[in-house]
Chain A
Amino acid sequence: MPGTQLLMTFPVTATSHSLADYRARGGYATLMKVLEKMAPQDVTKEVAASGILGHGGAAFAAGRKWAVIKLDDGQPHYLCANADEGEPGTFKDRWILEHNPHMLIEGMLISAYALQVRNAFVYIRGEFDLPYRRLAAAVEEAYAAGLLGEGILGVDFSCDLVVYRGAGSYVCGEASGLLSSLEGKRGYPRNRPPRLTVKGLYQMPTVVNNVETLTNVTAILALGAEAFKKVGTPKSPGTQLCSISGHIARPGVYEIEHGYPLKKFLFEDCGGMPAGAKLKCIIPGGISTKVLTAPEIEPVTYDHASFAKAGSSLGSGGMIVIAEGTCMVRLLQVMLRFYHHESCGQCTPCREGMGWMHRIIDRIVASRGRPEDIEQLYQISRWNDGNTICGMGDAAGYAAIGILDKYRDEFEHWITHGRSRFDGNLEVVGNA
């Protein structure tokens, strides 16, 4: 076990997601305590004091986001859990939705109470079917038990929760794209200002938080901010659910206490490389984070500062392990094809740039690469960085630059010789 566990604290069984099992583990006791003993502002203070950083990839302090909501502004406030989980390599929120949905619901209720939210939403990607059914069933259980709806637990606090299904668009994982979709439209991200906490869903103040962040709210209020801060590191309190996949012996979802040594996680907790394979590099937190080579991960601990120091980012917690022999040109090709497919098309640099990068790398792979292609990929990446409506343009750029910086020789090889320096096959490690 990679450190203290806050969320994955029980063995998964056929019923561990049910209300009965959740209650047996102490579930909803925290909500009761909060409703009886705390004022909404105190809850927000506790969340701020915990120092928790958002788990969706941006690592924005949840307390800072919440603080923008004015409790007495006379406007409806909305809370939305981001369960769109579309970042390739990421499947950790899915664990919560399938196995611990009530901890999310409890966390959302505590948050709704803090932010004076009457209507809360979970936006779940359309492709997730079992997670949706588990969550929807949990919501029905909660309503039946008086944990949702009017007068929750007999207290003067009411909250309705709607689970809203997406329909296949990666940018709906971006908070403003999510809200556009929730309004029944295309998932078009929005320019800021205004911030969503000022004008969000239907132009009302809205807090969008990742599923894992809201689930952690339950833990924070259960333990208290001080005890929560003792887990993890000072700058990265608490834990991170990490979904690990790729060329690794034991892929899956793990809860890592921040500060846990990365190498230990990979080679002990996850069983290391599959037989006969050597580690080449990892994508730390979703494909939008820069790759770290085997030597580079040596000193890294699983927290934001350590990843930043290594030149990458903890990201969305979706780790992909890549073995020696994998062609990085082909890997980047798959990524650029993905970004091209997912661009919403609103803004000039991304709409044109994603297709451009995809076409360049397709041409390299088709043995028609030119020496200037590498510099063009850099150029397009830099041109997108910071110049788009949402972070997808930046993300594609980081993915490309990260791989080009460290594996430029593989691109030069393909351009010069018309083929991969390996066999071009991404399936380096055989599948069962």
Chain B
Amino acid sequence: MPEIFINGQSVQAADNQSVLEAARASGYYIPYFCWHPKLSVAGNCRICVVQVEGRSWVEIACNMPVTEGLRVFTDSDLVKAHRKMVMQFLTLNHPVDCGICDKAGECTLQDYHYAYNGAPSISHEPKVRSTKFHDLSARIVLDNERCIVCSRCVRFTHEISKSCALGIKHRGDESLVRASEDGALDRDPYSDNVVDICPVGALLSRQFLHKARVWYLKPTPSVCPGCARGCTVQIWHRKPEWRLKALDPKQNARIDRVTPLENPAVNGPWICNKGRDLAAILERARAEAPMLKGKPVELAAAIDAARRLLGAAKRPVALVSSWGSNEELAAFKSALSARVDAFVKEDSTPAPGERLDDDLLIRADKNPNTTAARALFAQLPNPAVFPADTDLVLVWGEGFDFARIPAGARIIFLNAWLQPENGHADVFFPVSIQTERPGHYTNFQGVVSAFEPCFPKPPGVADAESLFAALGAQGQP
């Protein structure tokens, strides 16, 4: 455990740390482009330099091992001059088209320009042109003019996702990041992480391209429901103060993008592409009205009808949603489990060809809260087998084939989505989703993560938690 000195202050470093890591861990900021805590050291951007006391030159800190007594300066005149130099080189051929670049507002090049240079280019040469809008994959667009060839994206695909899909072709200032010609990047379910780690506006997500300026957006912490890993994510949507009256309310309440929420206990800094595509799951058409056999009614009438059915049932069975939050599951348990036989159902199953358990994040169980549900209830056998005299089935959540419900049994159905089965239920309740209420999921390893609401519930939609309480309350309906 060496002691080093940064700008004269003692810092306790760990064995095998680099000076950059030790500095970061103790709150000293050393700028970097190509370094990343989860990737191998490339040492090519050259901006992370420090000056060792007594030396008249600077050296990169990302590849400098800590040694006992090492004394370095992170802000000497030489270091500052060197950073300006690196910025001059990086902006030499960079198009500086921030006005039309999605990365503006969260761009390391912009930030460092203001922090360390702020000076226009001294070059008199026309900028080197290169490919803009190169389709690296169906999901990722590459602008080679903005690329600073830091190789983070390449290292990610070789060291983390292991698709080895990216590389740098040619050499010198003609170097081009490219995807392998066998389409491996299209098949890499973690591909979009390179968009996050690109420090400039070179790698951009097609689904977010030109959609919104990031400073109008707010990230709300959430948990991806795509599988049992439960990666924590950020759901980006318009800041409340930037809601535009001129816009359709739907645009003000839209998932603009999803990015990882760094989480050492679960997903680190990564998520898979399914998490990026959460809008495809969470912005499906919603069920908006309680119904009795397909006929819209007031909520009170629906609750009334449901309580009557529950009171009359001799052998009620409930199928509990594996997308239910910890709070909703607890509410179900406390309100209803004494009166119904409850089983956990698999709301989502893997799509054909969808990756199952892998070595990184993805789990075969495509439901976010199986663990919490199974802690409270038994698993529904597959194929589903109901007790012989089942006369009422309460189905909570989507994905269950109604054809398997015993003929003659009454159905109470709680579902968020506009689906044909909604009309087949004797009583139907539209329910809220995770972006509309706070809650927690428990992942397959038992880690509990929180999600927060970012949008208002559609009118007419109820929270399942309060519904259970209402359905289970004692006394005559």
> Contact: B122 with A345, CB < 8 Å?
no
Tell me which residues from 134 to 175 in chain B have a Cβ below 8 Å from any Cβ of chain A. Answer: 148-149, 151, 168, 170-175
Does A226 lie at the interface of the complex (its beta carbon under 8 Å from any beta carbon of B)? no
A-to-B contact residues, CB < 8 Å: 169, 186, 191, 193, 340-349, 351-356, 359-360, 363, 370, 372-373, 376, 379, 383, 386-389
Chain B neighbourhood of A370, CB < 8 A: 124
Choice from B57, B63, B89, B173 contacting A345 with Cβ under 8 Å: B173
Does B104 lie at the interface of the complex (its beta carbon under 8 Å from any beta carbon of A)? no
Chain A neighbourhood of B49, CB < 8 A: 387
> Contact: A349 with B86, CB < 8 Å?
yes
> Contact: B86 with A346, CB < 8 Å?
no
| Minimal beta-carbon separation of B419 from chain A (angstroms) | 53
> Contact: A351 with B149, CB < 8 Å?
yes
Chain B neighbourhood of A389, CB < 8 A: 43-44
> Contact: A346 with B149, CB < 8 Å?
yes
Q: How far is the CA of A376 from the CA of B41 in the complex (A)?
A: 31
Choice from B46, B65, B93, B128 contacting A387 with Cβ under 8 Å: B46
Chain A neighbourhood of B334, CB < 8 A: none
Q: How far is the CA of A348 from the CA of B89 in the complex (A)?
A: 7
Q: How far is the CA of A216 from the CA of B214 in the complex (A)?
A: 64
Closest to A186 in B: B171
> Contact: B85 with A349, CB < 8 Å?
yes
Choice from A348, A373, A379 contacting B44 with Cβ under 8 Å: A348
Does B14 lie at the interface of the complex (its beta carbon under 8 Å from any beta carbon of A)? no
Does B30 lie at the interface of the complex (its beta carbon under 8 Å from any beta carbon of A)? no
Chain B neighbourhood of A372, CB < 8 A: 124
Choice from A341, A351, A353, A359 contacting B175 with Cβ under 8 Å: A351
Quick one: given A352-B90, A370-B124, A388-B46, are A343 and B85 in contact (CB under 8 Å)?
no
Tell me which residues from 42 to 94 in chain B have a Cβ below 8 Å from any Cβ of chain A. Answer: 42-47, 49, 57-58, 60, 63, 65, 82, 85-86, 88-90, 92-93
Chain A neighbourhood of B82, CB < 8 A: 387
Does B241 lie at the interface of the complex (its beta carbon under 8 Å from any beta carbon of A)? no
Choice from A345, A359, A379 contacting B172 with Cβ under 8 Å: A345
Does B248 lie at the interface of the complex (its beta carbon under 8 Å from any beta carbon of A)? no
Q: How far is the CA of A376 from the CA of B44 in the complex (A)?
A: 23
Quick one: given A191-B63, A360-B125, are A352 and B43 in contact (CB under 8 Å)?
no
> Contact: B171 with A343, CB < 8 Å?
yes
> Contact: A347 with B46, CB < 8 Å?
yes
> Contact: B65 with A355, CB < 8 Å?
no
> Contact: B122 with A376, CB < 8 Å?
yes
> Contact: A359 with B63, CB < 8 Å?
no
Choice from A169, A340, A356, A383 contacting B123 with Cβ under 8 Å: A356
21 A-B pairs within 8 Å (CB atoms) are namely: A191-B63, A340-B172, A340-B173, A344-B171, A345-B175, A346-B42, A347-B44, A348-B86, A348-B90, A351-B89, A351-B149, A351-B172, A351-B175, A352-B92, A354-B172, A355-B93, A356-B125, A359-B125, A363-B125, A379-B122, A383-B89
Chain A neighbourhood of B44, CB < 8 A: 346-348, 389
Q: How far is the CA of A383 from the CA of B47 in the complex (A)?
A: 12
Q: How far is the CA of A343 from the CA of B58 in the complex (A)?
A: 22
Q: How far is the CA of A356 from the CA of B173 in the complex (A)?
A: 10
Chain A neighbourhood of B46, CB < 8 A: 347-349, 387-388
Chain B neighbourhood of A347, CB < 8 A: 43-46
| Minimal beta-carbon separation of B13 from chain A (angstroms) | 16
Chain B neighbourhood of A169, CB < 8 A: 171
Query: A355-B173, A386-B57 provided; 17 other pairs, C-beta below 8 A?
Result: A193-B65, A345-B173, A345-B175, A346-B151, A347-B45, A348-B89, A349-B46, A351-B149, A352-B92, A356-B123, A356-B125, A360-B124, A376-B122, A376-B124, A383-B85, A387-B49, A388-B46
Chain A neighbourhood of B47, CB < 8 A: 348
Q: How far is the CA of A383 from the CA of B92 in the complex (A)?
A: 14
Tell me which residues from 82 to 110 in chain B have a Cβ below 8 Å from any Cβ of chain A. Answer: 82, 85-86, 88-90, 92-93
Chain B neighbourhood of A376, CB < 8 A: 122-124
| Minimal beta-carbon separation of B259 from chain A (angstroms) | 27
List 4 tightest A-B contacts by C-beta distance, closest first.
A345-B175, A343-B172, A352-B89, A191-B43
> Contact: A351 with B125, CB < 8 Å?
no
Q: How far is the CA of A340 from the CA of B125 in the complex (A)?
A: 15
| Minimal beta-carbon separation of B216 from chain A (angstroms) | 32
Q: How far is the CA of A376 from the CA of B92 in the complex (A)?
A: 13
| Minimal beta-carbon separation of A352 from chain B (angstroms) | 4
Closest to A387 in B: B46
Closest to B93 in A: A352
Chain A neighbourhood of B124, CB < 8 A: 360, 363, 370, 372-373, 376
